[in-house]
Amino acid sequence: MLADGQQVLTSRQQKILIIDEINYTRLMFDYALTSAGYKVSSARNSGEAMHSISVELPDVVLLSFRANDSGAMSILTVLKNYFRLRLDIAQGAEPPTIVLSGSRDTRQAQEAQSQGASEILFKPINMQQLLDSVRTTIENKQNIMPQTRKKVVIFDAETRSEKFLESILTCEMYDIEGTDSEEELIAKIRHGEFDLAIVDLASIKGGVVEVLERVNEVSDDCPVVAIATSTDRISEDELKELGIHIYLVKPLNVDVFRIEVDTLLKEESESETEETNQTPQ
């Protein structure tokens, strides 16, 4: 576990979502951010934005405003409501939103901030200022990623929860696969298909201890992260005895969840490298 407040450097490609109804503007920002090394996706409206976020959670959202733009303001509200509805699964998932405003109307700026905008930049946008703002915003996030591609299986019987966890972890360094079957989970681990298993305890239909004992029997090379609710009747000590590496309680703190998973997989990668180096040639 990482100590509270401990900060680690990120090595994964950071993700930016651009929301702007004008094609030219999206392409201009896309080019600048991609050239700076970011992974960029774009959306024209709230529907496209929410689809993009549900697939892959961005690190920063850039939302373009125009004068008296009620549509863009409504997107801020939609974003806020979406993450409020996901608080039963995770907290802190909402990415910071930088508003790119075409109006210096103080009331519009105040309303945007009240709806959750983390920063407001006024048009015409100075591209270096934008890149600096994105970089500063990201530097405040705590993330670390392993350097080799890893496969992660998520066992969660609730599709909404499974997809949300996938959106938190999905990136160019992980392959994520979901399952809602205990038997399929055990089979995947037994066959050595995955580097990490994330198990939602509330999804286990039988006895939690019995199922985790079976998982432990086949998970020598596959660390297990258990996600529980406050009502789950099993202690952290019991979970450790059952071979659980990390135990987290919903609603998850997204940064902690990412860091714990990333760190665990990084340790696995380092262990594999050491074993390879020690193998006689």
Q: What are the domain boundaries of the chain?
A: 15-139, 150-278
Q: How far apart are the first and last CA of the chain?
A: 35
| Model pLDDT for residues 95-141, shown as the tens digit of each residue | 999 999 887 777 878 888 888 888 999 989 999 999 999 999 988 76
Q: What pLDDT score was predicted for residue 8?
A: 38
Q: Assess whether the region 15-139 and the region 150-278 belong to the same CATH fold.
A: yes
Q: How much is the pTM?
A: 0.72
Q: Which residues of 126-138 are buried (b: 16+ CB within 10 A; e: fewer)?
A: eeeebeebbeebb
pLDDT at residue 151 above 60?
yes
Instruction: Calculate mean pLDDT across residues 225-243.
Output: 84
Confidence of residue 9 (pLDDT cuts 50, 70, 90): very low
- The CATH code of domain 150-278 reads 3.40.50.2300
CATH superfamily of 15-139: Response regulator (3.40.50.2300)
Please count the CA atoms within 13 angstroms of the CA of 67 that sit on its side-chain side. Answer: 4
Instruction: Calculate mean pLDDT across residues 264-276.
Output: 67
Query: Whats the size of the chain, residue-wise?
Result: 281
